């Protein structure tokens, strides 16, 4: 509920039964919070309390303080949604006020909202997917490869403006193939954005190479050109040239390719563009995914469009993409029998799933518009609030806002972030911290890291929050999240 609605639920102990009845009617929330001037919760009043008072013959002018004492059923600020729900069931109540360490009521959870989960980013099917899958069934192409795969590859390549594409079983598989095709192998160094999902980095290690992590820049949160420059210079001075660079486009925003591409070209380091989160984004009139020697998309269930699971490796080099296709089908040579020279993988996309992907691609632009509208809603809802900074969309960019994200700028950002995430979780709203940077992961302890200036990615992790961002969020769900954010941030300001 909105802060104004929440504030309206309070009455002092001197108020009467009649006041409580009037307030229950006016607010229609089913509960009145009786509290002292510091908002310390004394008790709650529901319709049932008023009915019992009437049956006991108490006149409407009776002060609430004179009612039979009843300790308020409430929970603490660290209560989870599950705790609250268990309390509701055990006590047969529909509302649980949340109190802080001083017993002040700071929040109210209602049973109604707990029946309606709001997801971070859920699949959103269009009108054509079922028919395309049906077509795969009808023609009995229930196999990896098939006409939908071929068409999906052509359609994605055309959409991105690159010559070739190979559909894979996941974005991670495409990253693995891409690195191998760029020649990455044991003993190599590979540069990689630190602020990313672990799948950007894992294939580096799996190929026997060593990642070198690069910090973010503070505006768009993607790879910092100045940190990259220092890394390239430092490594060059040591006589080492990285074999490749995995440049991530975070949360639907392209990295600063105008700065990064020439730097990498000059150093002779090919770029593998991790565009898993940025399909549909543009940078200086080019599609995200068209900047690297190779680029990767993901169609995992939480991405802007999905095949339930899948990925794509794209690029302009026909030979590389042809090689990717061969490696992803067990590296079988052209022969009647099964002849193998290289070791390959089973990484191809199924024809059934490619049917879903073709339908999804037809609505991509609508999905981008819808996610951008979600972001605009949040920004308007929180306009004028201080202490938070949205992930920017610098000039020259058109991002997709795959996830709407901001960073809390406070003395103890991580505590504030966790309070806010706890608050949203308790109301059945899925929000997440920003990615934990790879250089802070135990898995990559000891790897080299080049910072921007301060450790930008570490502070984005400490205070960063990703909000529900699905293209299928309904206006009333957005209203609900916006109002919860207002109140959650109030709680953060009071407590953190």
Ligand X SMILES: *Cc1c(COP(=O)(O)O)cnc(C)c1O
Query: Which residues contact ligand X by CB under 6 A?
Result: 170-172, 196-197, 199-200, 248, 274, 276-277, 298, 300, 311
- Report the nearest approach of ligand X to the CB of residue 336 (Å): 34
Least distance in Å: CB of 289 to ligand X?
Answer: 12
Least distance in angstroms from the C-beta of 254 to ligand X: 13
Q: Which residues contact 272 (CB under 8 A, 6 or more apart)?
A: 175, 178, 179, 182, 244, 245, 246, 247, 292, 293, 294, 295, 296
6 or 251: whose CB is closer to ligand X?
A: 251
CB of 248 to ligand X, least distance (A): 5
Smallest distance, ligand X to C-beta of residue 371, A: 15
Positive/negative CA dihedral, 121, 123, 127, 132: positive
Neighbours of 415 (CB within 10 A): 16
Nearer to ligand X, 423 or 449 (CB): 449
Torsion over CA: 85, 463, 256, 383 (sign): positive
Beta bridge partners, 32, equal: 45
Minimum distance of ligand X from residue 277's CB (angstroms)? 4
* Least Å from the CB of residue 247 to ligand X: 11
Which residue number, 196 or 328, has a Cβ lying nearer to ligand X?
A: 196
> What minimum distance in Å lies between the beta carbon of 195 and ligand X?
10
DSSP for 12-34 reads: -TTSBHHHHHHHHHHH-SS-EEE
In what side-by-side order are the strands of the sheet with 294-298?
164-168, 311-315, 294-298, 271-274, 244-248, 189-193, 210-214, 448-450
Q: CB-wise, 85 or 167, nearer to ligand X?
A: 167
N- to C-terminal Cα distance for the chain?
Answer: 21
311 vs 463, which CB is nearer to ligand X? 311
Among residues 244 and 276, whose Cβ is nearest to ligand X?
276
Q: What are phi and psi of 392, to 5 degrees?
A: -85, 165
Residue placing its CB nearer to ligand X in the complex, 153 or 274 = 274
The gap from C-alpha 17 to its chain's centroid, in whole angstroms, comes to: 47
Which position's Cβ is nearest ligand X? 171
At its nearest, how many Å lie between ligand X and the CB of residue 435? 8
Question: Token pair of 325, please?
Answer: 């296709």
At closest approach, how far in Å is the CB of 252 from ligand X? 10
Where helices occur in 28-170 by DSSP H, the ranges are 47-55, 81-91, 111-114, 129-138, 147-160
Q: How far apart are CA 251 and CA 466, in angstroms?
A: 9
- Shortest distance (Å) from residue 405 CB to ligand X: 13
Q: What angle do CA 459, 269, 441 make, to 5 degrees?
A: 30
Helix (H, G, I), strand (E, B) or coil at 468: coil
Return d(Cα 161, Cα 215) in angstroms, integer. 29
Whole-angstrom Cα distance, residue 412 to residue 389? 15
> What tokens were used for 187?
């003993």
In the chain, DSSP finds a helix count (H) and a strand count (E) of 17, 21
The SS3 of residue 40 is strand
Indicate the residue among 327 and 483 with the shorter CB distance to ligand X. 327
CB closer to ligand X out of 121 and 477: 121
| Other Cβ atoms within 10 Å of 299 Cβ, number | 29
Tell me whether residue 35 or residue 250 sits nearer to ligand X (CB atom).
Answer: 250
**Would you say 296 or 458 has its CB closer to ligand X?**
296
């Amino acid at each position: 509920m909105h802060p104004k609605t929440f504030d309206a639920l309070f009455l002092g102990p001197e108020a009467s039964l009649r006041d409580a009845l009037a307030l229950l009617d006016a607010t229609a929330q089913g509960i009145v919070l009786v509290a002292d001037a510091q908002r310390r919760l004394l008790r709650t009043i529901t319709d049932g309390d008023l009915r019992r008072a009437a049956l006991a013959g108490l006149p409407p002018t009776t002060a609430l303080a004179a009612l039979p004492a009843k300790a308020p059923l409430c929970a603490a600020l660290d209560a989870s949604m599950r705790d609250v729900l268990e309390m509701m069931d055990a006590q047969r109540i529909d509302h649980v006020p949340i109190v802080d360490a001083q017993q002040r009521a700071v929040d109210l959870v209602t049973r109604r909202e707990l029946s309606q989960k709001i997801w971070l980013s859920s699949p959103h099917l269009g009108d054509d997917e079922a028919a395309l899958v049906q077509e795969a069934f009808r023609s009995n192409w229930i196999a990896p490869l098939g006409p939908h795969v071929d068409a999906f590859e052509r359609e994605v390549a055309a959409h991105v403006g690159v010559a070739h594409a190979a559909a894979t079983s996941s974005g991670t598989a495409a990253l693995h193939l891409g690195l191998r095709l760029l020649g990455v192998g044991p003993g190599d160094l590979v540069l990689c954005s630190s602020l990313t999902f672990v799948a950007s980095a894992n294939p580096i290690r799996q190929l026997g190479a060593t990642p070198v992590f690069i910090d973010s820049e503070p505006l768009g949160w993607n790879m910092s050109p100045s940190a990259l420059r220092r890394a390239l210079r430092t490594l060059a001075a040591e006589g080492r040239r990285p074999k490749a660079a995995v440049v991530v486009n975070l949360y639907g925003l392209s990295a600063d390719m105008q700065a990064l591409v020439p730097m990498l070209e000059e150093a002779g380091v090919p770029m593998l563009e991790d565009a898993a989160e940025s399909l549909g984004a543009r940078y200086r009139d080019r599609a995200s995914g068209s900047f690297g020697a190779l680029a990767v998309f993901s169609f995992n269930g939480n991405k802007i469009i999905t095949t339930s699971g899948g990925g794509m490796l794209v690029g302009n080099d026909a030979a590389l993409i042809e090689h990717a296709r061969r490696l992803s089908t067990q590296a079988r040579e052209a022969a009647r029998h099964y002849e193998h020279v290289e070791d390959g993988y089973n990484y191809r996309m199924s024809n059934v799933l490619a049917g879903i992907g073709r339908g999804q691609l037809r609505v991509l632009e609508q999905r981008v518009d819808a996610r951008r509208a979600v972001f605009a809603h949040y920004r308007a809802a929180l306009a004028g609030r201080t202490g938070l900074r949205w992930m920017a969309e610098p000039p020259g960019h058109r991002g997709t806002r795959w996830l709407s994200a901001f960073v809390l700028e406070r003395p103890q950002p991580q505590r504030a972030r966790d309070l806010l995430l706890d608050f949203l979780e308790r109301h059945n709203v899925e929000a997440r911290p920003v990615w934990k940077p790879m250089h802070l992961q135990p898995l990559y302890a000891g790897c080299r890291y080049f910072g921007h200036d301060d450790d930008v990615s570490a502070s984005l992790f400490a205070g960063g929050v990703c909000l529900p961002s699905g293209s299928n969020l309904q206006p009333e769900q957005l209203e609900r999240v916006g109002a919860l954010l207002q109140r959650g941030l109030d709680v953060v300001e009071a407590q953190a």
